[in-house]
Chains A and B, each alone.
Chain A
Amino acid sequence: MISKRIVLHFPHRLVDQPIIYKLVRDYNITFNILKASVTPQEEGLMVLELGGEDADFKKGMEYLKSCGVKVQPLSEDVVRNEAKCTDCGVCVPICPTGALEIDPITRKVSFYDTKCIACELCVKICPTKAMEVHL
C-alpha cells in the first residue's frame, strides 16, 4: 500500500473531465480531498491524499500524466523561509493540521511539510512573509 499527498494542476481544457472518477474506478485508488479550486479561464487545482496498491498507484499516476495533469508532491508547495522567519509563532494556532509547532524550550518554530495541507492560511498571516508558496 502507498499513500501520498499530492497537488494536481488541471489545465483549462481538462476542467470539465471526470478524471478523478476514472482514477478511482479504473485504478482502484482511494482519495481524500484536502483542497480544490477552479480559477475561471485558467486552471483547476486539487490537493489530494491518494492511496492504493503500489502497482495501481503507479499506473494511476501515469494515467494522470497522460491526460495532461501536472502532478506535484505537496511538500514542495509551502516552504518556510528560515531567513525571514523570526520565530514569533503567531502562525502556530492558525494552522489547522498542526504542521507548525513551537518548541517549548527553544521557542523556535518548526514546519512539518508532511502534515501540511497547503491551505496557505500561514502564508497570508505571516507578519514577515516567511511562509512561501512554490507552485
Chain B
Amino acid sequence: MKSIREINEKIKAGQAVVVTAEEVIELVDKKGARKAAEEVDVVTTGTFGPMCSSGAYFNIGHSKPRIKIGGGSCKLNDVPAYCGFAAVDIYLGATAIPDDDPRNKVFPGEFRYGGGHVIQELVAGKDVRLEASAHGTNCYPRRRLETYINIKDLNEAVLFNMRNCYQNYGVAVNLSDNMIYTYMGALKPSLGNANYCSAGQLSPLLKDPYYKTIGIGTRIFLGGGVGYVAWNGTQHNPGVKRRDNGTPVASAGTLAVIGDLKQMNPQWLVGTSMLGYGATLSVGIGIPIPVLGEEVIRHASVKDEDIYTQVIDYSHDYPGMTGRVIAEVNYAQLKSGRITVKGREVPAGNLSSYSRARQIAEELKSWIMEKDFLLTEAVAPLPGPESGYAFRPLKERPPVF
C-alpha cells in the first residue's frame, strides 16, 4: 500500500514510475497485479470527444463609463452568452448559436459556428467581438457596448463544464428506414452504421470505476492546461448495472470540471458541429490515478474486451425514452470497426478520438515525470454505486388552468 504523499515524494525526486492506462494493461498481464502495484506509482488516462455541457465564464473588466451587462444581453461573435450575474461577468455555453443561424430550417442544418467555436478562438488568442446592451442605471449609465476582447486582457477566463468525461456511453444505431441526424452523428437507415463515443480502456472513469481515487478536488489535465474536478457532473448515475470488473455497462458517472482557460490550448478545445443537431465543444481531459494498492491497479488495467456498452436505437428508443437495449458489445469489437447487431454486421465509428486520448495520457505522464504535476488527495468522494444517488427523468406536471 502507498499513500498519495509517498507518490508525490517520488515524483519530486524524479523517481516515480508512471505508465499510461494502455501500458498498464500489458504490465499487469506480464507481472500480475500485485507485482505491478508495487512497481507502478501512477496510471495516466485520457479522453477527447464532444462534451456538450461545457462552457466558460469571463470577467471582461469595466468600461469607462461603466455598463451593467448583468440583466441585459450580450453576444460574443454573435453567439449569445448568459449574463444574469453582476455587471461584467458572463458565461458562454458550448452549444449556444447565433440568433440568425438557420438551425434545422433546411434539414439537416450545419451548425458551423457556436459557443464551442468561440471558446476555441479565444483560447487560440484571437480577438472576439463583444456586443452588449443594458438598461442603464445611475451607477452604470452606459447602455451599449461594442468592442473586441482578447483572452489575455480578460480578468478571468475560466472553463467550467458541468458535465464531462462520461463513464462509458451507449452505441447509437438507426433501425428506421430513413437517415437520421443525432448528437451521435449521422446514422444510416436499417443498421447502416453504429456510432460510439468513448476512449474505452483509456477513459478516466472506466479505469477507476468505483471512484476510489478520483473525487472532488482531483487535479487533472483539462484542455491542455491544469484543471480540477469541481463536483460530480450533472446526470451522475453511479448505480447502473456493473460487471464483475466494476465497469458499468451503460453511461454512469460524470464529472464537473474547472480550470484556467488562459493556460489551455486550442488543440484540446475544439469547436465542433454535429450535422442536423447543433454546435458543441470537443474537450480533452486526462486524469492521473495514484496506484495506492493492488485493487486500484487491477481496475486500471481493465481492457477494451472486458468493457461492455449498450446498443440503442436512436430513431425510436432514445427519443421516446423507452429504455430498450438492442445489444451489448465490448470496446474491442467496436474498435475493430464491425459489431454484430440483430445478426447483422454493422460498421462502427467513434466520435471520440482514441489517438488523441492516447496523446493526452502520454502528455500527462510526461508532466508528472518532469515534476510539473503533483497528485492530489480528493477533498470529498463522488457519490458511489451504493450512495443511492441516481439520474431521474423529469416528472412533468403541466399547470392546470
Decide whether A and B assemble into one complex.
yes
Q: Do B270 and A86 touch across chains, with their CB atoms under 8 A apart?
A: yes
Q: Do A90 and B349 touch across chains, with their CB atoms under 8 A apart?
A: yes
User: Which residues between 71 and 108 of chain A lie within 8 Å of chain B, taking CB atoms?
Assistant: 86-94, 102, 104, 106-108
Q: Do A86 and B349 touch across chains, with their CB atoms under 8 A apart?
A: no
Q: Do A127 and B351 touch across chains, with their CB atoms under 8 A apart?
A: yes
How many A-B residue pairs have C-beta atoms within 8 angstroms? Tell me: 72
Q: Do A90 and B356 touch across chains, with their CB atoms under 8 A apart?
A: no
B179: shortest Cβ distance to chain A, in Å? Answer: 10
Chain B CB within 8 A of A58 CB: no
Chain B CB within 8 A of A124 CB: yes
Q: Which of B97-105, B240-248, B272-280 contacts A (4 or more CB under 8 A)?
A: B272-280
Chain B CB within 8 A of A28 CB: no
B276: shortest Cβ distance to chain A, in Å? Answer: 9
Chain A CB within 8 A of B347 CB: yes
Chain A CB within 8 A of B381 CB: no
Closest to B195 in A: A90
Closest to A92 in B: B349
- Number of B residues with CB within 8 Å of any CB on chain A: 33
Q: Do A128 and B271 touch across chains, with their CB atoms under 8 A apart?
A: yes
Q: Do A89 and B112 touch across chains, with their CB atoms under 8 A apart?
A: no
- Which among B270, B347, B353 has the highest number of chain A CB atoms within 10 Å? B353
Contact of A86 among B110, B273, B356 (CB under 8 A): B356
Q: Do A102 and B353 touch across chains, with their CB atoms under 8 A apart?
A: no
User: Which residues between 41 and 95 of chain A lie within 8 Å of chain B, taking CB atoms?
Assistant: 86-94
A92 to B352, CA, bound (A): 13
A128 to B186, CA, bound (A): 14
A106 to B347, CA, bound (A): 19
A98: shortest Cβ distance to chain B, in Å? Answer: 10
B327-365 interface code vs A (CB 8 A; 1 in, 0 out) = 000000001110000000001111111111010000000
Q: Do A128 and B282 touch across chains, with their CB atoms under 8 A apart?
A: yes
Q: Do A88 and B337 touch across chains, with their CB atoms under 8 A apart?
A: no
Q: Do A87 and B112 touch across chains, with their CB atoms under 8 A apart?
A: no
A2-15 interface code vs B (CB 8 A; 1 in, 0 out) = 00000000000000
Chain B CB within 8 A of A22 CB: no
Q: Do B274 and A91 touch across chains, with their CB atoms under 8 A apart?
A: no
A106 to B112, CA, bound (A): 29
A88 — which chain B residues lie within 8 A by C-beta? 49, 349-353, 356
Q: Do B112 and A90 touch across chains, with their CB atoms under 8 A apart?
A: no
A35 — which chain B residues lie within 8 A by C-beta? none
User: Which residues between 108 and 135 of chain A lie within 8 Å of chain B, taking CB atoms?
Assistant: 108, 121, 124-125, 127-129
A55 to B353, CA, bound (A): 48
A108 to B353, CA, bound (A): 9
Question: With A87-B356, A107-B358 in contact, is A92–B347 under 8 Å at CB?
Answer: yes
Given A92-B349, A121-B186, output 12 extra A-B contacts at Cβ < 8 Å.
A88-B352, A90-B351, A92-B337, A93-B193, A93-B337, A94-B186, A94-B349, A102-B337, A107-B355, A108-B355, A125-B275, A127-B351
Task: Report which B residues bind A (CB closer than 8 A).
Answer: 48-50, 108, 110, 112, 185-186, 188, 193-195, 270-275, 282, 335-337, 347-356, 358
Task: Report which A residues bind B (CB closer than 8 A).
Answer: 86-94, 102, 104, 106-108, 121, 124-125, 127-129
14 residue pairs of the A-B complex, CB under 8 angstroms, read A86-B48, A87-B354, A88-B350, A88-B351, A88-B352, A89-B349, A89-B350, A89-B354, A90-B350, A91-B349, A93-B348, A107-B335, A107-B355, A127-B351
Closest 4 CB pairs of A and B: A93-B347, A107-B354, A93-B193, A107-B355
